[in-house]
Structure 1
Amino acid sequence: MTGSGSGSGGTVRLRPPNHTLDRRVVGWWRTQCLLLTTGPVAVLGVLGAFLAPARLWLLPAAGALAVLGTAASVFLPLWWFRVHRWEVTDDAVYVRTGFFWQEWRIAPMSRIQTVDTVRGPLEQTFGLATVIVTTASSKGAVRIEGLDHALAAELAERLTVITGATPGDAT
C-alpha cells in the first residue's frame, strides 16, 4: 500500500489504523465483564450460605471475586477502547488490538473470502455490531467489534463491492 492507501498497488506496510470503535463499546464490554463475574460470585455465595464448614473461605472468596470483577469491569473496557483501532482502505482491512501483546492484522482485499455482520442480543441492546472478515489465513477471521450497527452494514457493503472488484482468487 502506498502512503495514501489509494490502492495503487504499492507495498502494504504496517501502520496504525485510523479509526476508533464506537464509544458505546465500553458499556457493552462492561456488561459482558459483569455478566461473566456474576455467575461465579453467585455460585460461591450460595455455596457459602448453605455449606457451613466452607463458609469461612467461600464467602470471602465471593466478595473478593466481586470486587475484582467490578474493578475489571470499570477499568479494562476503558483501556481496551484506547488500544483497539481499525481501518478499511481500497487495499486492505487493518485491525490493531492489545497493549502489552499487540496484535496487528492486515487482510488484503484479494484474500477476503466472506464478509459477515453479527449482532448478538447484547450488541443489539447497545446498538452495536461486529464485522467479520474471513480470509484463507490459518490465524482466522479478522473481527472489527464495537461498530455502530449502521456503520457495520455500510462497511460490509463497501467491503463486498471492493473485494468483488479486486483481482485475485482469495486463497
Structure 2
Amino acid sequence: MEEQVRLRPPANRVDPRAVRYWMTGEAITNGVVALVLGVLAFLIPPARPWLLLALGIVLVIGIPYMIVMPIWRYRVHRWEITEDAVYTRSGWLWQEWRVAPMSRIQTVDTKRGPLEQAFRLSSVTVTTASAAGPITIKGLDHEVAAELADTLTEVTQANRGDAT
C-alpha cells in the first residue's frame, strides 16, 4: 500500500545570495524602465510632464519594491525532498505550497541564466504529470542544485510509479 503524501512546510531555505540576485534583477528592470522614461522625457518635450510623472512613480514604487520583495521572498521560499515527495513553498504576496509525489515526477532540469551564474545560483525544475505545471525551486547554490537534480533522478528511477 502506498504511503499518503501530505502538504506540509518544507524545511530548507534557498541560498542567502538569492536576496541579492532578486534585488539585482529588480534594479535592472527598474533601471531600464527609468532610463527609457527619462530619455523619452528628454526627446519629447510636449509629453515631458507626464513622462517625468511616470518616472517618479516608477522610482517611488520600484525602489521600495526592489528592497522589500527579495527579503520577504527569501523568508517564504522553502524546499525539501524526501523519499516520497518534493515539497516547495514560494511566492511573497500570493504564496504557493506544492507537493509532488516521486511517483509523479517525469523530468528534472537545472537552469542558470547569466545573472544566476554571476551569483553562483541555479534553479531546479521538476516536471510532473500535474495540470498545475512544473515545480521550480529558484535561488539554489549551483552545487546544491546539481546534487538535488542527481538525487531526484536517482530516487525517481528507483520509484516504481508510472509518472502519469
| 1:166 lines up with 2:156 in the alignment | no
Whole-angstrom distance in 2 between the partners of 1:132 and 1:106? 13
Q: Name stretches of at least 5 consecutive residues in structure 1 with no aligned partner.
A: 1-7
The two structures have a TM-score, normalised by structure 1, of: 0.91
The two structures have a TM-score, normalised by structure 2, of: 0.95
Whole-angstrom distance in 1 between the partners of 2:148 and 2:30? 33
Identity over aligned pairs, percent: 55
1:13-92 superposed matches below 5 A = 13-92=6-85
Corresponding position of 2:115: 122
Q: How many residues align?
A: 164
Whole-angstrom distance in 2 between the partners of 1:156 and 1:29? 22
Corresponding position of 2:145: 152
Whole-angstrom distance in 1 between the partners of 2:94 and 2:46? 42
Shift of 1:9: 4.1
Whole-angstrom distance in 2 between the partners of 1:9 and 1:91? 10
Q: Is the 8 A contact 2:6 2:99 kept in 1?
A: no
Deviations along 1:19-63, one digit per CA (max 9) or x if unpaired, are 010000001101111111122211111111121111122113212
CA RMSD, 1 decimal = 1.4
Q: Which amino acid aligns with 2:45?
A: A
Q: Which amino acid aligns with 1:56?
A: P
| 1:132 lines up with 2:120 in the alignment | no
Whole-angstrom distance in 2 between the partners of 1:95 and 1:127? 21
Q: Name stretches of at least 5 consecutive residues in structure 2 with no aligned partner.
A: none
